Amino acid sequence: MSKQVNDPMDNTGFDDLTTSLIGRRLSSNAGSVDYNYADNAIDFSPNGSISSDNDCVVWNLQKPHATKAGSTLNMHFHYWQEDATDRYFTLLYRIQDNNTAKNTTWSEVVVSTNTNNVFTYTSGTLNQICKLVDIDWSNVALSSTVQLRMTRSDAVAGAVTVTFVDGHVERDQTMGSRQEFVK
């Protein structure tokens, strides 16, 4: 039997871009999000408004050098699911591509936990992952910035505890790009 040799340029893999959530005046009871220091997380209360700084968390991610051309940034969050009740989150995102004018237009996505949860809830408190959005950044330069803003927008009573957000990126080079600012 002959051994098949794979071209290293055909091999790809996914990696995580994890980030902490940042909110304005958390712990001040001014909005619908608050730090949960006991669980090292953020509690999202119902009725958040995406237009209110006090109801949102925000974060920025950079397009890594090893990102496969033509791929997407697949955003999701990790949380503790305590029941099967559907919750809704509203997400805004925009891309700030290098060497272009500032992008002031946000794209909006409303996400249902029951539709977008990765695992099936059965009982207890489940470490759950909820898919947010797959962002097309195929025409964006390396090191460009994706800006994101999220709130919980349903009216169901009780907090949803989110531990962190992250984005999966498909990589086609282990060590990054061959040059500093180009693939």
Domain ranges in the chain are 13-171
Task: Report residue 122: phi and psi, to 5°.
Answer: -120, -50
**Are residues 41 and 161 in contact, defined by beta-carbon separation less than 8 angstroms?**
yes
Q: Do 169 and 129 touch, CB atoms closer than 8 A? A: no
pTM comes to 0.83
If you average pLDDT over residues 109-121, what whole number do you get? 97
pLDDT of 4: 46
In sequence order, what are the residues at sequence separation of 6 or more whose Cβ sits closer than 8 angstroms to the Cβ of residue 179? none
Q: Per residue in 16-34, pLDDT tens?
A: 666 766 665 555 566 888 8
Residue percentage of the chain with pLDDT more than 70: 78
Quickly list H helices, the chain.
Answer: 113-116
Alpha carbon distance 2, 17 (integer Å): 38
For the chain, the residue count is 183
CATH H-level superfamily of 13-171: Galactose-binding domain-like (2.60.120.260)
